[in-house]
Amino acid sequence: MTKVRWGILSTADIAQTQVIPAIHRANNAEVVAIASRGDKVYKVAQALQIPRAYESYDELLLDAEVDAIYIPLPNDMHKEWSMKAASCGKHVLCEKPVVLAEQDLEDILDAFKKNDKVFMEAFMYQFHPQHARVKEILASGEIGQVKLYKSSHSFLFENREGNIRMDAKKGGGVLWDLGCYSLHAMQHLLDEEVVSMSFKAQFDKEAGVDVTTCGIVELTNDVMAIIDCSFNMVGRNEYEIVGTKGSVKVKNAFRPDVFGGDAQILVTKGATERIEYVQGDIYKLEIEYFSNKVQDGTSLDDQHAASRKTTKLLVQAYASLKDA
């Protein structure tokens, strides 16, 4: 099988611990190069068995033997390096949130269309098969008409000094970092449109970023959503969908990889409960999905539509914080 040749634009932790190992596990992909600003890149390349290392991002983009680029840079750098990659004829998988403004996303998508290359925002959670199973349960009518979506995502963020999550200029803040998952999943799972939304937050006084944020979203067909995210709480990454006849809850919704890829779907109807167990390797599945798109050239319009909606909602949510 011909494999898509990947270059990694940064030695960020998520690249080293999650994405590069996933590319090694993938059936249709291989890592051929990595870049960072400084000579530390050589040690990383050696440790992760990557053939070529560069001390600048531009050098990697000029490597003719690289087909696709993975970008795990700070949020405020996503547009710049995605656009540069497109101009160099590379496909791009870019970490979420892909941009901090709606027009920036349009500029990126236009650049990739112009250069006939593939672009996707890296919401890896969606590739776990548990979510497809949840959609099947909803479509079956087992829990009746959906009335409520609840999602929580948090972790106790202790070593904050110097971390980009605490840098407002770089797109820091818990809503950008964690809340984006809940908003993305809301659209991924439900066929409803947002009517209105209102968020409130607690801010870190020194950094000026939100560290705990809660919101209420009104959707079409009388569906409501409650979303919370925090850097100040115990780790949670879950959603629950409540209907007129029952409910379905997914406990390890966004990071099942932390538990070896295991997921549990709890379906409740009155006094009856059942648990369905689903297994999946989200980062491997994401890499294989994207690499297939690179190879067969099929449309990613559905992914782009989701990115547009998520970006719009995040911008509106932050605007509502300012109005609160």
User: Is the pLDDT reported for residue 173 higher than 90?
Assistant: yes
Secondary structure (DSSP) of 210-272 = EEEEEEEEEETTTEEEEEEEESEEEEEEEEEEEESS-EEEESBSS-GGGGTTEEEEEEEETTE
3-state class of 34 per DSSP? strand
What pLDDT does 297 receive? 86
The yes-or-no verdict on residue 324 having pLDDT over 60 is no
Q: Which CATH class is domain 129-279?
A: alpha beta
Per-residue confidence at 293, pLDDT binned at 50, 70, 90? very high
Overall pTM > 0.75 = yes
4-123+285-298 CATH fold: Rossmann fold (3.40.50)
What radius of gyration, in Å, describes the C-alpha atoms of the chain? 20
The reply to whether 4-123+285-298 and 129-279 are identical in fold is: no
CB burial of 156-186 (b: ≥16 within 10 Å; e: otherwise) equals: ebeeeeeebbbbeebbbbbbbbbbbbbbbbb
Distance CA 232, CA 244 (A): 33
Residue 66 has pLDDT above 70, yes or no: yes
In the three-class reduction of DSSP (H, G, I as helix; E, B as strand; rest coil), residue 168 is classed as helix
Asked if residue 323 has pLDDT above 70, the reply is no
Check pLDDT > 60 for residue 72.
yes
Confidence of residue 162 (pLDDT cuts 50, 70, 90): confident
Is the Cβ–Cβ distance between 217 and 312 less than 8 Å?
no
Q: pLDDT for 312-322, tens place per residue?
A: 999 999 999 87
Secondary structure (3-state) at 33: strand
Across all residues in the chain, what is the average pLDDT?
96
- Is the Cβ–Cβ distance between 322 and 211 less than 8 Å? no
pLDDT digits (tens, 9 = 90+) for 105-139: 999 999 999 999 999 999 999 999 999 999 999 99
3-state secondary structure at position 9: strand
- Looking at residue 102, what is its pLDDT? 97
Domain positions in the chain: 4-123+285-298, 129-279
Percentage of residues in the chain having pLDDT higher than 90: 94
Site of tokens 């059936």? 27
The percentage of the chain sitting over the pLDDT mark of 70, rounded to a whole number, equals 99
Average pLDDT over residues 293-304: 94
Average pLDDT over residues 233-240: 97
Q: Are 289 and 68 in contact (CB under 8 A)?
A: no
Please give the pLDDT value at position 245: 98
220 pLDDT band, cuts 50/70/90, is: very high
